[in-house]
Structure 1
Amino acid sequence: MKVIRDPIHDYIELDDLALSLIETPQIQRLRRIRQLGFSNLVYPGANHTRFEHSLGVYHLAKQLIKQVDEQQRNELLAAALLHDIGHGPFSHATEEVISRYTRKSHEDIEELLRKGEISDILKGYSLSPSAIARHIRGETNPGQIIHSEIDVDRMDYLVRDAHYTGVAFGLIDHVRLIHEMKFNENKLVLNIAGLQAAESLLVSRFLMHPTVYFHHVSRIAESMCHHAAQYMIENGLDPKLLSRMDDCTFMMEMKRAGGYASEIVNRLDERRLFKRALYTDFHSVNIDVTNIRKNTKRIENEIAQSAGIDPGYVLVDIPEKPVIAEMKAQVIINGKMIGIDKASNLVASLGKAQLDNWRLGVFTPAQYREKVGNIAREFFEVKKELKQFKLTGI
């Protein structure tokens, strides 16, 4: 048994299985992948990593596995530690492009569990790689501890991200939440006594999206990184190799790639980011962005052609419509399971307000900002703002 000091959970106790897994290159790589990608360009303290987050998830999972069959406890603890080893460099910044070219999300890690040091360790403890992979994807009943509507993964990252960014939205009583969670009819549910703690988590997540996760500077930097990664893959980089890189290795590869990728990495290094030519909410767009989201490359080419600039200098960012997964969580009231949005007017209100956090962005270098903005507003049929006039009297 070894004890590690953690700024969020104070002390984390690691057993022999955890210590063996932590020493593998696959988990050590997570020390070199920032949890929040490029958010440190907004919040200088946001340099925490996937490694410490994984330790935090492991720690919280230990509090809940007491309700699970003893035979599955080691599987779940291993899953908690290993759940993020599929992330590429800069976390979500490269996730979409890696998924597109490999057809695998960061949760599809069974292949990684079946080879190398991790495979040997799992065999030594008679643990099944396929079972661990299913737990991570939330495909098993006990796996809901790690992947479900209210799970230990989001409990840790919300508190940890708030701590390192310094925002005041991460006040979550995860100890109370865990104490009031239990399995009922193979479903991880919440006792009514934990409802306020769950409301706090939902409010925190709702407020963290516009201020941290979807801050426009982060979105611009991530879009630039995404396009540089796509450029490199189209020019010969193996996407599987990209998925195994860490942040520093990827930055060096971008520099070596030359051309567009080299320019983008220099801009990221020096914080010379593209600017917002268009940045508008869901209600201001007259076309159905859901249907055109898969065609962003074509849209970028059209806007760039109209503006007379290279396509790589028009970045269109159309996030998926926001969905609060926690809205599907179940609360036990008088022995019956009901949706959390039915148990809480506050949660129901958050569900209605979630579209307020959605933004469509078109980013370009400063010198093209006005021209690209005018073309983008026409393309997306952005409603004109109504001017307000004061009545000065008759």
Structure 2
Amino acid sequence: MTKKYLQIVDPIHDFITVYQQEVELIDSSVFQRLRRIRQLAGAHLVYPGAQHSRFEHSLGTMHIAGQAANVLRNKGYLDANDSENIRMAALLHDVGHGPFSHLFEEVLQKKKKNSHEDIGQRIILETEIGDIIKKSGFDKTFLAKLAFGNSKYQFMNEIISGGLSADMMDYLLRDGYFTGAEYAKVDFMRIIHSLDVHDKKLSLDKSALHSFESMMISRYQMFKAVYFHKTVRSAEVMLIQAMALADSELGLTTDDIEIYVQMTDELVISKLVSLEPKNTDLRRAKQLAIEYQERKLLKCVYEKIFTRPRMRKMNITSLQNEIAKMSKVDESEVFIDVSKTPSIPLAPSKKESQSIILTTKKGEGPKESYELPISEIPLVSAISGFMDILRVYTRKQFRKKVEMAAAVILGENNQ
């Protein structure tokens, strides 16, 4: 008799149960590739323990999404088939990520206006992943929508992505654990067991509001301390620039899904450091990749954080040229990095979250639900809006010149 499930030991969730149809997806070459894509790209150069991958994060997201689905199933909102769909969609939510995760997406956005969600849908529909889904008796078209927040069932989308998502709960806990950062404490079990549904949207029991507040603050702190750390971004700026410069030569932003699913962190970095320097762009790409590998990172000489109002739109190329001209340094030695994120996670619709639905019950009466604006949650309101960070980087030998020019052009240094 074939065993119907496996237990995988995990440092965050202790044990993750994986069922037969999920095992077949996990064992596919397309999914196994996620083992070779780091969750936090260049963060390991600052936090040496941050070697974890998209693979284990995907398992963890499936685990939390499954727990959330069970809670809602017990409350009568889902059936067994819905729970299986939610688990499978959560497992596949990151399958479209390219090498170096979100860094590659920055190159994709510039070159093709594509996102990992767009590619993820294609992977589910056009590769062996879709064949496995179909063979297991599930609808690959529906799962491709649900995995990326596009299904017609809003509260099911919200289990996977958004302000109460399994994705965020797992990545905060996992990233905090592997970086050693103490900010990412999330009482996810309290949140999960307090989930409900109101007007086809995910809601939270009022008694768990403090856990939601704590999670939002943890996320904000992780962006400041880890994801947007100036040295982490220094390494990542080098990788982004190297991939962009070498794209024409290496075909990194290919539309060919079969080629795309072969690309991993190590494959791309090895291609970059092995480039034949036939022209200036390829020579610069190779140099940046080698210096990234050797941790000879760019230096941050200017930093400014914008919350409200947002950073005004600016022409990065013009700014780069202006700083280079004033500092009398070649423009290729001036790197401008603009990091942006909403302080509160976007809803699955990709719109900024303005409120949370709370559910409350008094005595024996029926449950009541109401929408609470984010502006009325003091701690969360204080960090709401966007975190935009403008930084200027250069090599060590040009540090003083570029620092002085950036301070004159952009205003006083806010580091």
Fold equivalence (TM over 0.5)? yes
Q: How does 1:1-394 map to 2 (within 5 A)?
A: 1-66=5-70, 67=72, 68-108=78-118, 109-140=120-151, 141=154, 142-235=156-249, 237-240=251-254, 241=259, 244-257=262-275, 258=277, 259-282=283-306, 289-292=311-314, 295-320=315-340, 322-325=342-345, 328-333=355-360, 335-339=368-372, 341=374, 344-351=377-384, 358-380=388-410, 382-383=411-412
Supply the distance in 2 between the matched residues of 1:19 and 1:316 (Cα, whole angstroms): 43
CA displacement at 1:341 relative to structure 2:
2.5
Match of 2:75 in 1: none
What residue ranges of structure 2 are gaps of 5+ in the alignment?
Answer: 73-77, 278-282, 346-352, 362-367
CA displacement at 1:236 relative to structure 2:
5.2
CA displacement at 1:378 relative to structure 2:
2.7
| Residue range with higher mean Cα deviation, 143-152 or 65-74 | 65-74
Asked if 2 retains the 8 angstrom alpha-carbon contact of 1:135 and 1:147, the reply is: no
Task: Report the residue type matching 2:202 in the other structure.
Answer: L
SS at match of 2:122: helix
Asked if 2 retains the 8 angstrom alpha-carbon contact of 1:149 and 1:328, the reply is: no
Supply the distance in 2 between the matched residues of 1:247 and 1:308 (Cα, whole angstroms): 35
Supply the distance in 2 between the matched residues of 1:53 and 1:340 (Cα, whole angstroms): 31
Supply the distance in 1 between the matched residues of 2:17 and 2:122 (Cα, whole angstroms): 28
Cα shift readout 1:62-107 (whole Å, capped 9, x = no counterpart):
1122332433333222211111111111111221111232332111
Task: Report the residue type matching 1:175 in the other structure.
Answer: M
Task: Report the residue type matching 1:115 in the other structure.
Answer: E
Cα shift readout 1:332-355 (whole Å, capped 9, x = no counterpart):
24613222635632222232xx66
Asked if 1 retains the 8 angstrom alpha-carbon contact of 2:172 and 2:219, the reply is: yes
SS at match of 1:360: strand
Match of 1:392 in 2: none
Cα shift readout 1:363-385 (whole Å, capped 9, x = no counterpart):
000111121122222332x1478
Cα shift readout 1:209-234 (whole Å, capped 9, x = no counterpart):
11111110111111111111110114
Supply the distance in 1 between the matched residues of 2:181 and 2:101 (Cα, whole angstroms): 21
CA displacement at 1:60 relative to structure 2:
0.6
SS at match of 1:239: coil
Match of 2:280 in 1: none
How many correspondences in the alignment? 377
Give the RMSD, CA atoms, in angstroms: 2.3
Task: Report the residue type matching 1:330 in the other structure.
Answer: I
Asked if 1 retains the 8 angstrom alpha-carbon contact of 2:234 and 2:298, the reply is: yes
SS at match of 1:320: strand
Asked if 1 retains the 8 angstrom alpha-carbon contact of 2:125 and 2:144, the reply is: no
SS at match of 2:312: helix
CA displacement at 1:14 relative to structure 2:
0.4
CA displacement at 1:359 relative to structure 2:
2.8
Between the aligned residues of both structures, percent identity stands at 33
CA displacement at 1:290 relative to structure 2:
2.8
Q: Following superposition, which runs of at least 4 residues in structure 1 exceed 4 angstroms of deviation? A: 241-244
Supply the distance in 2 between the matched residues of 1:338 and 1:383 (Cα, whole angstroms): 42
Asked if 2 retains the 8 angstrom alpha-carbon contact of 1:150 and 1:329, the reply is: no
Task: Report the residue type matching 2:402 in the other structure.
Answer: V
Supply the distance in 2 between the matched residues of 1:284 and 1:200 (Cα, whole angstroms): 21
Supply the distance in 1 between the matched residues of 2:213 and 2:308 (Cα, whole angstroms): 29
What residue ranges of structure 1 are gaps of 5+ in the alignment?
Answer: 386-394
Q: Return closer, same or farther for 1:63/1:178 CA change in 2, 3 Å cut-off.
A: same
